[in-house]
Amino acid sequence: MSTQRSTGRELAQIATFAGIIAVLGLIPAVAPFGNAVPITAQSLGIMLAGAVLGARRGALAVLVLLALVALGLPLLAGGRGGLGVFAGPSVGYLIGWPIAAWAIGAMTNAMGAPYRVAPAIGINVLGGVLLLNLLGVIGMVLRADLTTGAALVAAAPFVPGDLAKAVICAFVAKGVHAAYPGLIRTRRAERADAPV
């Protein structure tokens, strides 16, 4: 019975975060300088999924959203959906979303509870800014026929906003972890006989 309850709770968490990422897509996207890949609020949802749910559940929440997008639901920023979005220049970011959520979740779990804002910001920057933009650049090189340099220039406008999202995510996740302890593992207490 407790296993069923635990599974049901996990499914609810995954569905909730897939919904949060979809709702963040309602915030209008911005395409600076005619960039083929829009700046959206949805990457904040990706960071939050990993930071709050951990690696496995965070990545699954993103995969649920992407499966719904593939089925044609207009859940991406700007009302985009369907298989065509996976052939466009933003494919690297879309493929990177579950990877970034998993990476943030794995590093957050390694940090352990209690959730600490300063290291969490670093984790969000590593997974949600550096890793995600690296995968996005690779996607633009492959799908938008850009050189690596041109793709890096195209990705540069994303970085300031992504850094702000990394900070926002850390503070929001801190509040969630304070309200719902047990979402990430607790750090082992130092052994009493450890040398000082």
What are the boundaries of each domain within the chain? 7-179
Tens-place pLDDT, residues 23-78: 999 887 776 656 666 678 999 999 999 999 999 999 999 999 999 999 999 999 88
Residue 4: pLDDT band by 50, 70, 90 thresholds? Answer: confident
Angle CA 41–18–60, to nearest 5: 115
pLDDT of residue 35: 63
pTM: 0.88
pLDDT of residue 187: 66
The alpha carbon of 140 is separated from its chain's Cα centroid by a whole number of angstroms, namely 19
State which fold the 7-179 domain adopts: Arp2/3 complex 21 kDa subunit ARPC3 (1.10.1760)
Tens-place pLDDT, residues 141-196: 999 989 999 999 999 988 999 999 999 999 999 999 999 998 887 765 433 444 44
pLDDT of residue 22: 96
